[in-house]
Structure 1
């Protein structure tokens, strides 16, 4: 089956915007919860091991359960998957609110809540991504991706200070309760708006462990059988592997190399955040080049340039490194936005849940692996060496993406990697 044009409603904005706005509120609530819980664990324990363990607990469902969640998302009604996922996250928060309000909360309660919230996200994210491709016309997918990237940047910038303000004025259980309200705002439009569903030939099969496992393997085979997409996913995993240690090393780079303090670190981190918002807004307004892969690969090279500038800045060149972080931040949404728009426009609708969760699992798994390898390398060769290596590899991968045919022709390919000859429309239904 060929997928070249998406059959989307002419009134797509009236369908998509209410759902998107609901998700904005949900993301804001999640950002506040994350900040409040991290601050509570920091005050209560002061332990780096506790914070690292909490991060690991939140990471496990994304790495190990996402592929199975994606298989279920491709079988179940995606609208109700999002409702259930948001509801599950809200229930976990309700439990925390009760425990904090009654003074009975323990550290393991927080760990359980973080695991449940991450599990809900493992279902919600692929369901939303896979639904977007059937609600938004193909020519606007990159713009929507840009708006999402800008939104994430704004929340990353705004949620911590807003959370700090709320914690200073309200008990923590009241801060957490905000997430319950925002989850309700996310669920509300989903109760009244029908989301297009892909029609599967095997939809009559019961959902059993056997069928789910077969779907997971089918999703993996689908990706591996498409050389361009498979190589692109490996490249995305490698970028995560290369860049995630740089974020963790930033405090050491600022203090050891630039002899800076907390203010200099804050400015460095805000440079990336401001750049990400600017890049997302630029993509949302512009939409990128007609060939999405060109926008993504050129921007990946731009990330490489920014990381190289950061790593190469001399001890007196703090503001040079700051400009490198700004460049990297701008280029990040210009890399990721077109990439996700390309996957949404090319991957067959009934496979998107599995493919997106495979992307997520690979990306999340690379973060701890990058830290495990990056830390001893940085200790042996110096902090700046990892930035120079990571930036150089991003430049190389972007160049490869622009010159290797199986990647640079992805905009013209159909499932399996063959060049598109004629257009066809998928069969979709509304729930």
Structure 2
């Protein structure tokens, strides 16, 4: 039994949260594929498909940070449970919409889905440090990233198969069940939560608590550096998502097979990166900071090589190595943030992080297509390489400087 599997079996709360997220994440892939297929079938318009995706993602950009004070003031468990129930109801409406060909329901339902999702992600990320021991946080995040890699391969494949061979309504039914599955696991799981204590005489307002989150962000250089490097990571994600279909179809001339092979390499990289981080970094503070910087360098360098690749086998190797770096970043970035932020403000900080990440990714996706059309994949790849390399070097500088400053004072340093 590996070290990672031992965490699942020795921590019942984490196991149940992992079961909840795994089920809902698998259903999400069915939703992604079925939503795209149904929209294109009903409208024959890529613009309409983009609008549906915008309806789903825009609330996460605009509302996540506003939910931060609520996550710190109220039960995160309750917020996740309500979020799952809302998303399950929307997925059930999608079944009806697919059968009755009601396009308006997909637009409005996607907005509601986005609103509910804007709460679930930050709430879960803020919960993990409270349910696992500090020495196990890296391992817990490694499990999450590895599971994400597996589900990205399995969910996309089976979601596409069900939507194409059977019908999208069945895929939406699977999605609805996945949220009910998640809600059920959360309902039977209880843990001690840290919420912001409200002094009757000096109770702070919602907006004061919102400002407090941004104030902490400005005052803590490690948190600020993590958010800034998250911006760099989000910028790099846009060219990645656009370049995979461009290279797989137009450069390698393999159509859907080429695109699928590249996504398989992507999923395998995330699985391996989680195991690598767990073994190499563990709960070592210095290693976590050092390898977070290396994650950017690895991702950037091999993405440049991927952008210049001319055959699918080279492309698979380079995208695998690039996403190996991305997996390191996702695991360690979340770990460092979870262990740096105090429990009373985790909801606000993770909500801000989620908003920044989602918003910049959407902007990057919007720009990447025209940029690749105008400049070509190699040039855009080199730009991504420069951004990633700069982010890694900047992180090393800030991290080393902050740890040296703390070592010269009597103040404790969290991770």
With normalisation by structure 2, the TM-score equals 0.88
User: Which of 103, 116, 135 in structure 1 is aligned with 2:131?
Assistant: 135
Alignment partner of 1:145 is 2:145: no
SS at match of 1:198: coil
User: Which of 321, 327, 338 in structure 1 is aligned with 2:321?
Assistant: 327
The answer (yes or no) to whether the contact 2:27–2:178 under 8 Å persists in 1 is: yes
The answer (yes or no) to whether the contact 2:73–2:197 under 8 Å persists in 1 is: no
Instruction: Provide closer, same or farther for how the CA distance between residues 114 and 288 of structure 1 changes in structure 2, counting only shifts above 3 A.
Output: same
In structure 2, the partner of 1:194 is 190
The answer (yes or no) to whether the contact 1:71–1:216 under 8 Å persists in 2 is: yes
In structure 2, the partner of 1:407 is 399
SS at match of 1:70: helix
User: Which of 242, 251, 262 in structure 1 is aligned with 2:256?
Assistant: 262
In structure 2, the partner of 1:427 is none
The answer (yes or no) to whether the contact 1:228–1:410 under 8 Å persists in 2 is: yes
Distance (Å, rounded) in 1 between the aligned partners of 2:248 and 2:305: 14
The answer (yes or no) to whether the contact 1:63–1:361 under 8 Å persists in 2 is: yes
Distance (Å, rounded) in 2 between the aligned partners of 1:196 and 1:324: 44
Note the C-alpha offset of 1:271: 1.6
SS at match of 2:100: coil
The answer (yes or no) to whether the contact 1:412–1:420 under 8 Å persists in 2 is: no
Distance (Å, rounded) in 1 between the aligned partners of 2:372 and 2:138: 36
| Alignment deviations for residues 301-336 of structure 1 (CA, whole Å, 9 cap, x no partner) | 1101211211233x4x54333211010122212111
Instruction: Provide closer, same or farther for how the CA distance between residues 84 and 170 of structure 1 changes in structure 2, counting only shifts above 3 A.
Output: same
Note the C-alpha offset of 1:110: 0.9
Distance (Å, rounded) in 2 between the aligned partners of 1:131 and 1:289: 18
Structure with more helix by fraction: 2
* Pairwise CA RMSD: 2.8
User: Which of 228, 234, 239 in structure 2 is aligned with 1:234?
Assistant: 228
Distance (Å, rounded) in 2 between the aligned partners of 1:206 and 1:29: 44
In structure 2, the partner of 1:86 is 84
Distance (Å, rounded) in 2 between the aligned partners of 1:23 and 1:40: 25
Distance (Å, rounded) in 1 between the aligned partners of 2:223 and 2:95: 43
In structure 1, the partner of 2:104 is 108
| Alignment deviations for residues 280-303 of structure 1 (CA, whole Å, 9 cap, x no partner) | 233345554712211211111110
User: Which of 64, 67, 70 in structure 2 is aligned with 1:69?
Assistant: 67
Alignment length (residue pairs): 404
SS at match of 2:193: strand
Instruction: Provide closer, same or farther for how the CA distance between residues 123 and 229 of structure 1 changes in structure 2, counting only shifts above 3 A.
Output: same
Instruction: Provide closer, same or farther for how the CA distance between residues 119 and 395 of structure 1 changes in structure 2, counting only shifts above 3 A.
Output: same
Distance (Å, rounded) in 2 between the aligned partners of 1:204 and 1:128: 28
Alignment partner of 1:117 is 2:113: yes
Distance (Å, rounded) in 2 between the aligned partners of 1:190 and 1:206: 33
With normalisation by structure 1, the TM-score equals 0.85
In structure 1, the partner of 2:158 is 162
Q: Which has the higher contact order (CA 8 A, sep 6+)?
A: 1
Note the C-alpha offset of 1:42: 2.0
Instruction: Provide closer, same or farther for how the CA distance between residues 27 and 384 of structure 1 changes in structure 2, counting only shifts above 3 A.
Output: same
In structure 1, the partner of 2:23 is 25
Note the C-alpha offset of 1:343: 0.8
User: Which of 353, 356, 366 in structure 1 is aligned with 2:360?
Assistant: 366
Instruction: Provide closer, same or farther for how the CA distance between residues 396 and 182 of structure 1 changes in structure 2, counting only shifts above 3 A.
Output: same
Note the C-alpha offset of 1:371: 3.6
Note the C-alpha offset of 1:211: 2.6
Q: Which moved more, 1:282-291 or 1:127-136?
A: 282-291
In structure 2, the partner of 1:179 is 175
